[in-house]
Amino acid sequence: MRAVVQRVSSAVVSVGGTEVGSIGPGLCVLVGVARHDDDQDAARLADRLWHLRVFPDDEGRMNRSAAELERELLVVSQFTLYADTQRGRRPSFVDAAPGEKAAPLVDAVVHQLRAMGATVATGRFGAHMELSLTNDGPVTLILDT
């Protein structure tokens, strides 16, 4: 699995002009699922997200996690994270898992986060979504399982 993680002041995801998920300060996470990913990858990604130390401590160093600060997460599925752009001008998505495999694994990440105590908002799998966020820092990281 692959995630683009942004520390945000706020984030909102909408479908068809209707807000379906929003958070205040926390992490906005775009999640891509590869063909070979499984439930262990989902559990590992959730654990890494919840305990990732990207929030400042009292000295301003990135030393605190969403878990420690009880920050919210917005998880949005993003199959384009597995785009292959090495040849031609049109991306290939052959490495991305098909929807019937990817949807349950994105749901598993959300379920694992909630089981650890996280407040999690989500987008809508397979929908055309509009994401608006205010990146805090800016801090943007890429995680791979």
Q: What is the set of active-site residues?
A: 78-80
Q: What CA–CA distance (Å, rounded) separates 31 from 106?
A: 7
Q: What CA–CA distance (Å, rounded) separates 94 from 139?
A: 29
Angle subtended by helix axes 39-51 and 99-115, to nearest 10: 40
Q: 87 is written with which tokens? A: 């040849």
CB-based contact 32:96 (threshold 8 Å): yes
Q: What CA–CA distance (Å, rounded) separates 92 from 28?
A: 25
Strand locations in 58-97, DSSP E? 62-65, 72-77
81 DSSP assignment: G
CB-based contact 136:54 (threshold 8 Å): no
